[in-house]
Amino acid sequence: MSNIDWANLSFSYIKTEYNVRSYFKDGQWSDLEETTSEQITMHMAATGIHYGQQSFEGLKAFKGKDGKVRIFRMEENAKRLQSSADGILMQAVPTELFTKAVVRAVELNLKFVPPYESGAALYIRPVLFGSGAKVGVSPADEFTFVVFVTPVGPYFKEGFKPTKQMISRQFDRAAPQGTGNLKVGGNYAASMKAGQMAHDNGYSSVLYLDSKEKKYIDEAGPANFFAIKGDKYITPLSNSILPSITNMSLIQLAEDMGLTIERRKVALEELATFDEVGACGTAAVISPIGQIDDIDEDKSYVFGDPKVAGEVSTKLYNKLRAIQYGDEADTHNWVTVL
């Protein structure tokens, strides 16, 4: 598209041409519908809008030097959407329907996949919600599944430059036995006030501690947290964080690079011992963290040169991107080439 400034895209919505939809009704999913409408019509008593019975996913498609378009690990997003559906009693979208809808949404909008040189990507946003009417708190019997796409740049405007994050005990994103491990809208609603406060104070995001004891690191706003200490890749194990597909991939790449993986509770005090830390996710990719301010304790943690991404994070970032754009062999079979 001639009027899109590909190299300077931010993470925001740009209208594309088509989206695809399927409706669950009378016990079955409909054939995929292809539409140019950006609007959804639904019953005013839909459970999705009253009781937050909804879940979304986020994945990306990349254009390679060879002009081919690659979608990253979409089967994993299908599985996670099924797990979210299970967790809040929605009708799960079968993997085959999910992947077909994702591929179709990309195919119908090929001209919106950013060019290789721009370093941008096509963000794919599947969303599933209860569209059947209920007034009491109970699951809907009708569901709507939509996949739209939009070209995006980095989620954190700094891209692959370190940002500052903020710890505050004032806010919880998810309860210890709640829905933090599911990608449901309620978690994001719960994070908005904290996120706004972080932005207003010059931070890219809130770094959440575990809600029960406030002793361990949970995750970083819309991304998982990882740390590098010597030859170790360390990332929190917690029931209230989202199982990140990017983190899962980085763990594999770190292992391939000969690092030792530690997936365990990460105590807050350990921050002082880490060489590099970062946030990772589909939207964030890797966003290195240069400094973390614990505003309640009036304490700051600084990592290496807080203006420069660490060496291991840089290697991981380059490796992941190389696989996504098709510059390096996809030895783990993560990529679907259209």
CA dist., res. 320 & res. 285, Å (int)? 9
Which of 39-47, 257-265, 275-283, 323-331 is the region at the interface with ligand COI (rule: CB under 6 A)? 275-283
Q: Which of 24, 234, 252 is nearest to 225 (CA)?
A: 234
CA dist., res. 335 & res. 338, Å (int)? 9
- Applying CB under 6 A, the residues found at the interface with ligand PLP are 58, 219, 222-224, 242, 244-247, 281-282
Q: Which does 320 bind (CB under 5 to 8 A by kind): ligand PLP, ligand COI, none?
A: none
Identify whether 193 is a catalytic site residue: no
**Is residue 288 at the binding interface for ligand COI, with CB under 6 A as the rule?**
no
Nearer to ligand PLP, 140 or 167 (CB): 167
Tell me which residues in 52-81 interact with ligand COI (CB under 6 A): 58
**267 bridge partner residues:** 216
Which of helix, strand or coil describes residue 133?
strand
Among 283, 286, 320, 323, binds ligand COI (CB under 6 A): 283
**Is residue 108 at the binding interface for ligand COI, with CB under 6 A as the rule?**
no
- Nearest distance, CB of residue 243 and ligand PLP, angstroms: 7
DSSP letter string, 160-218: SS-EEEEE-TT--SS-TTTTTTS-BHHHHHHHHHHHHHHHHTT-SEEEEEPTTTS-BEE
Nearer to ligand COI, 151 or 281 (CB): 281
- Nearest distance, CB of residue 35 and ligand PLP, angstroms: 25
CA dist., res. 246 & res. 220, Å (int)? 14
**Is residue 281 at the binding interface for ligand COI, with CB under 6 A as the rule?**
yes
Nearer to ligand COI, 245 or 271 (CB): 245
Are the CB atoms for 93 and 56 separated by under 8 Å?
Answer: no
DSSP H helices, the chain, are 47-50, 74-87, 95-107, 185-200, 245-256, 311-325
Q: Which does 244 bind (CB under 5 to 8 A by kind): ligand COI, ligand PLP, none?
A: ligand PLP
Nearer to ligand PLP, 268 or 280 (CB): 280
Q: Which of 10, 226, 24 is nearest to 132 (CA)?
A: 24
Tell me which residues in 27-56 interact with ligand COI (CB under 6 A): none
Among 54, 282, 287, 336, binds ligand COI (CB under 6 A): 282
| Residues labelled as active-site residues | 183
> Which residues of this chain interact with ligand COI, rule CB under 6 A?
58, 222, 281-283
